[in-house]
Structure 1
Amino acid sequence: MNEAVGMPVPVAYDPNHFIDQLAKRLRAKNDAALCRMLGVEPPLLSKIRHRRLAVGAPLLIRVHEVTGMAIADLRQLLGDRRRTYRIGEGLGNKALVRANLV
């Protein structure tokens, strides 16, 4: 594993590692305490842990606000290795049509 911001970094996308490292950094005893610190509902972390929901931009921004860590460092901690992220990536043409962008 590589090191970023003094934390081990996974080789591939791993939301559990991301949540565990956040809890460690914020000294949260469990996911419920972490949710209170981040101001998010507990089902959100549960869905992320069980890979039913991806870590989205709003959560990354909230974690950035609470921890002060750079978004790039958070993405690296999550295992996101893309160099750039484009708005609408993965949404397909349907989202662009609905937004009248096509």
Structure 2
Amino acid sequence: MTDLNTNQKKYDPNNLIDAVTARLALKNDAAVARALKVEAPIIEKVRSNKLPLGGYLLMRLRELTGMSVNDLQDLMGDRRRKFRMNVRPARANIN
């Protein structure tokens, strides 16, 4: 009897960030953050699983690396095939 779970990768965004760092020849997470146009603590939170790697970052990674979304997801062991964009309408600044 084969355990189907033995072939599945555990979710680990560090694998993806490390692969992107190498592919883009970047030095560190701060350089990755600059390339993604996000603040450095975002990458730190993604690495420590305090923040999920969402649709926006996944699409930016796709644009930067030229890799498919499925390949990026596979690198981090993510089996989801749908993402929801966290888009909030801008608040009107009424004074």
Work out whether the TM-score is over 0.5. yes
CA–CA distance in 2 between the matches of 1:47 and 1:86?
A: 19
Number of equivalent positions: 78
RMSD over aligned CA atoms reads 1.9
List, as ranges, runs of 4+ consecutive aligned residues in structure 1 with deviation greater than 2 Å.
84-88
2:9 paired with 1:30: no
1:81 Cα deviation (Å)? 2.2
Matched to 1:85, the amino acid is: K
Distance 1:75 1:87 in 2: 15
Match in the other structure for 1:43: 41
Whether 1:85 aligns to 2:48 is: no
TM-score scaled to structure 1, two decimals?
0.69
Over 3 Å counting, the alpha-carbon distance change for 1:86 and 1:68 in structure 2 is: closer
Give the aligned partner of residue 55 of structure 2.
57
Residue equivalent to 1:13: 11
Of 53, 58, 69, which residue of structure 2 is paired with 1:71? 69
Question: What is the TM-score with the length of structure 2 in the denominator?
Answer: 0.73
The structure with more radius of gyration: 2
Identity %: 46
Structure holding more strand per residue: 1
- Mapped partners of 1:86, 1:32: distance in 2: 25
Once the two structures are superposed, what CA deviation does each residue of 1:63-90 show, in whole Å capped at 9, x if it has no partner? 11111111111111111124x33659xx
User: Measured at CA, do residues 81 and 41 of structure 1 come closer, stay the same or move farther in structure 2, by a change above 3 Å?
Assistant: same
The gaps in structure 2 that reach 5 residues or longer are 1-7, 86-95
